[in-house]
Structure 1
Amino acid sequence: MTSTYASAYAAALSAAHDAAAGQNYPPGALYVVATPIGNLADITLRALHVLQLADVVACEDTRHTQTLLRAYGIDKSTAQLLAVHQHNEAQAAQVVIDRLHQGQRVAYASDAGTPAISDPGARLVAAVRLASLPVVPLPGASSVTTALSVAGIADEGAHHGEFVFVGFLSSKSAERATAITALGVEARAVVMLEAPHRIGALATALATLGERRLTVGRELTKQFEEIATFPASTFPDWLHRDPNRSRGEFVLVLHPAMVAAESGSEQRILKMLLAELPLKTAVKLTADITGASRNVLYEAALALKKEGA
């Protein structure tokens, strides 16, 4: 399998060298490298070049990363791979710092996506910075931004486009319930992660949020990718309708709390502006003034126009 992939990515390696080799890659620096969250083709040209160039590849799981590198046709010996994971991150950071002081280039990659967001890497980066050594980010795939990009939250709620990332909630039912109660009064969008063996419990807990909209991304960028948006109350039913939906890794976006456009002040402002301005302009200004959802205000404006006609 890896040899087949390596042949397919031979051109990509050549393109990576042509596109990135002329740039500056100082020695003695830590390179934080984003890797695909599922689809191998989501690697960047600069990531390929740096993974080839690095003297050492620090990684969450050396076996996983070795397989990934070989899929791209990148040959690193076992001695060039250094395990840096949640159980040894503090100690391994010193090994990385020693390598950097020797002038080596060290690339760090977690198992998937951008390191140090939910995966390990944050302690390593902090330790390297504390040692006054350079850290170079190589942006790329991220499950968080991938899910947000298809959730369509920009014009929802009072906090247009804002979100909070909470990662994995507690596996303990009482702590999870407390966290979800707090999320229920969070006006901004909330991004969560979950594993397949716990998704059922999370679905039941999130159902208590009623009509609050939820976008669920399962197996993002992979062959059986599935993305759906529905009221949180229907999440358990959606999950149970197909046994396959309990498989794979999950990214969930709890949409912003909708601000109703039915209060007297919002309706009065909207009516006044509609009398003087085009519909879209009136809606935008009313949203800016009141913090109400543009989508809700737009529907209210159409209804008012219809009544006036």
Structure 2
Amino acid sequence: MPAMTALPATLQDQEALMDRIARDLIDSYDEELELEIEDREIDESGMAASTDKAARQHYFKELFRLQGELVKLQDWVQHSRQKVVILFEGRDAAGKGGVIKRITQRLNPRVVRVAALPAPNDRERTQWYFQRYASHLPAAGEMVLFDRSWYNRAGVEHVMGFCSDAEYEEFFRSVPEFERMLVRSGIKVIKYWFSITDDEQHMRFLGRIHDPLKQWKLSPMDLESRRRWEEYTKAKEIMLERTHIPEAPWWVVQAVDKKAARLNCITHLLGQFPYEDVPHAPVVLPPRVRNEDYLRQPVPAEMYVPEIY
């Protein structure tokens, strides 16, 4: 396998890459922490452009507003006993994990959960292909977000030769009926493809190589996907053409701009439901019961975690 270029050729390109890595690192934090860091840097250096700050402030404002709407959607899904499946597909480093994180950040993991399945084991490889995915489907009042899904067969499994041509063709015969069956059973199926350019994926991979906190995201399979960009493109085009059905259509998210992609995806997702506010009874904190004969037992000193900070 040819080695990926470790650094751009010129010093200027290297500096731009390192700046990109630093920004991506901050971007991986929770938005409140990112906002605090950015404000502190602006106050101390005075070098940040006001237009850039305004754009980022707008992003934070919109994200928090949309996350408030996601809480309403969650309540409505639980109250009306909806069943929702959302698939997130796209090339490696396309930003699927980032948008999933922002969707679930404020939500109840008992209502909205993420399914990110590893490669199938020996037993699972002998099962009906959809079997291991079916076990993660939602019950009433639940939303399941698949970070990659049964479409692995149309992408990585096909390109890397992990399935036969016969299994590949059987997948395309089966998956429309499988998804129609889910819809008939009352499950709302939403499918997103995150689209990035060749150059953008290359830059994000370089960022991961030089960011110690993100190196774990790069697997040998990811690196091989760079070499086979065109094969993955052909596989994607075939997949979208053969599995874009009225009951479960594909939606393509332009994802070169990570922040815009998150806002656009969440906005679109909210628009797929006729959700509304669910009335809740006022929360009243009950008085704490106090018993005169209660004595709190001391905790042995050796049980405490050392207070280093």
User: Which structure shows the bigger proportion of residues in strand conformation?
Assistant: 1
| Higher relative contact order, chain-length normalized (CA < 8 Å, sep 6+) | 2
Instruction: Compute the TM-score of the two structures, normalised by the length of structure 2.
Output: 0.30
